[in-house]
């Protein structure tokens, strides 16, 4: 209950002081808005760059996975080709 009363008093006092010090409030606001815009923009740039780095890292990992799959497929194809080559050599030897 005391928090509710304290909050109401704070709101009323804030409104009264805002009316009396309106020009000072505007000066403060004129100084604060550009700084907030600069800080917000810098934060957005940082988050954007971080997201871009993550996307690049994901792309590189996918490419590595695809390369490893291709290498494994190539090894299987080489082993199969060697097996067929050996069978062909055996067939040539048996015909002769």
The packing angle between helices 22-95 and 2-20, to 10°, is 110
Kindly report which listed range (1-5, 37-41, 44-48) carries the lowest average pLDDT score: 1-5
Confidence bin at 95 (pLDDT 50/70/90): confident
Identify the pLDDT of residue 26: 92
Give kind and range of the element (H or E) at residue 55: helix 22-95
Q: How many domains does the chain have?
A: 1
CA distances from 72 to 18, 19, 48, 54, 66 (A): 72, 75, 36, 27, 10
Identify the pLDDT of residue 94: 80
State pLDDT tens for residues 3-25.
999 999 999 999 999 999 999 99
Q: Which domain holds residue 37?
A: 2-95
Identify the pLDDT of residue 91: 84
Are 25 and 18 contacting, i.e. CB atoms less than 8 angstroms apart? yes
- Dist. CA 50–CA 54, nearest whole Å: 6
State pLDDT tens for residues 47-85.
999 999 999 999 999 999 999 999 999 999 999 999 999
């Amino acid at each position: 209950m005391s928090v509710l009363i304290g909050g109401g008093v704070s709101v009323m006092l804030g409104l009264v002081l805002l009316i009396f010090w309106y020009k000072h409030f505007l000066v403060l606001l004129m100084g604060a808005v550009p700084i907030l815009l600069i800080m917000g923009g810098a934060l957005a740039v940082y988050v954007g760059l971080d997201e871009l780095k993550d996307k690049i890292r994901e792309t590189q990992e996918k490419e590595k996975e695809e390369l490893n799959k291709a290498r494994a497929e190539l090894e299987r194809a080489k082993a199969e080709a060697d097996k067929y080559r050996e069978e062909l050599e055996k067939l040539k030897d048996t015909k002769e």
